[in-house]
Structure 1
């Protein structure tokens, strides 16, 4: 097994080496006062999160709300910082060597609630990667994160998420094809650095214009999310893939 870090930051750096994937990656930097001010000035909204966290833990959204004030959302709680000095003090407290700041993607929403996507990509030894399951996680009311346990959100099929969203007038088959293509590109890009990995749970998203984004890649994804879908076939496919791999 490789000693290479599996942190969000390390995987992001590997992914962004690919010119084909760069357009699907939110701009990301280590958190500092300078990097925060640069990205918030450029995009108006940013996400701050620990590079080693999972399940939405520690994810904070900051939005520039005009007149030098900033709105900070942590879970369902929102605070306003009145000026740049106040937000700078907040950022300095958050900045350390395990926190990143990144461009916030304007996620597509289903009935006003943001959703992102879990795409399972798996392979057998010496075989090509394949997409074995996809689902959408819809955030609970008032939350920016889609983690089901923390936000009280729900799991639906990707097709159902698209219906009732800003994307409902786009061709669903084309959106799904692009999603699969980018997921497989990401797996191919990471694979040489993590040769021991045979399963990836890639957290992805559509923005409000239908562009595909890679949020992060998990090497130990929670498979039970797929049991929340009405049709359990994807879950059984993923599990049987594991069983076949263990026998090889």
Structure 2
């Protein structure tokens, strides 16, 4: 089977077939009234985003509160008393587009702001092993949920981020090796679905307890935000055939 383009739902289904990888996936459903009610009832806090979205555009964070519901997109927040009102609001925004619903993960933080990690995984040829060639930490802008630099996020090196974050020191010891291992496993799993694919950008959320959660996979990740040395290494792999 081949996956056409940026299809997060099909990527999720493909990765879910791998039992070793499935435990790192964030529970995901296609957008529908039934799935909206199911996911919000089950998790109380969910993320609704375009199935083929780019650069964290149009991502909605929905949470059940003590007296109603809150929706946040970028810096804007909306409050509703009834769940039906939340659904009607989202339906008016989504219209005919294809969206997915994910469980919201409570991520580790730096200065109270959530962060995640982008890992670049490459192979020199289609028969070569996958290798982690670069990684960067992305910290959300204060008051926002998304970490992308295009939405005000801050880029940090892994070392600096680990010195600043709220993950306990004993967990940090083997964390990077685990992140690379999971990223390579995801690339190995998705590789056969994309002919001639030699590069992936893996976005992984990290909880305070060190558990890892794959948010999504990018087929053409931007190099912006990586160090000059990392960019040089990435391009060296790209040039190899």
TM-score, normalised with respect to structure 1:
0.91
Native 8 Å contact 2:29 2:101 kept in 1 = yes
Q: 1:62 matched to which residue of 2?
A: 62
State how 1:80-99 maps to structure 2 within 5 Å.
80-93=79-92, 94=94, 96=96, 98-99=98-99
Is residue 131 from structure 1 mapped to residue 125 from structure 2 by the alignment? no
Q: 2:158 matched to which residue of 1?
A: 158
Offset at residue 42 of structure 1 (A): 1.1
State how 1:1-248 maps to structure 2 within 5 Å.
4-67=4-67, 69-93=68-92, 94=94, 96=96, 98-125=98-125, 126-150=127-151, 152-227=152-227, 232-243=228-239, 245=240, 248=241
Offset at residue 130 of structure 1 (A): 0.3
Are residues 165 and 3 of structure 1, via their aligned partners in 2, closer, same or farther at CA, if it must alter by over 3 Å? closer
Helix, strand or coil: the match of 1:224?
Answer: coil
Native 8 Å contact 2:108 2:166 kept in 1 = yes
Offset at residue 6 of structure 1 (A): 3.1
Offset at residue 216 of structure 1 (A): 0.5
Native 8 Å contact 2:137 2:157 kept in 1 = yes
Native 8 Å contact 1:45 1:61 kept in 2 = yes
Once residues 114 and 143 of structure 1 are traced to their aligned partners in structure 2, the CA distance between those partners, rounded to angstroms, is 9
Gaps of 5+ in 2: none
Offset at residue 110 of structure 1 (A): 0.6
Are residues 3 and 78 of structure 1, via their aligned partners in 2, closer, same or farther at CA, if it must alter by over 3 Å? closer
Once residues 172 and 96 of structure 1 are traced to their aligned partners in structure 2, the CA distance between those partners, rounded to angstroms, is 43
Aligned residue pairs total: 238
RMSD: 1.5
The superposition leaves residues 97-119 of structure 1 with CA deviations (integer Å, 9 ceiling, x where unpaired) of 51011101111111101111100
Helix, strand or coil: the match of 2:203?
Answer: strand
Gaps of 5+ in 1: none
Offset at residue 170 of structure 1 (A): 2.9
The runs of at least 4 consecutive aligned structure 1 residues that moved more than 2 Å come to: 2-6, 91-97, 168-173
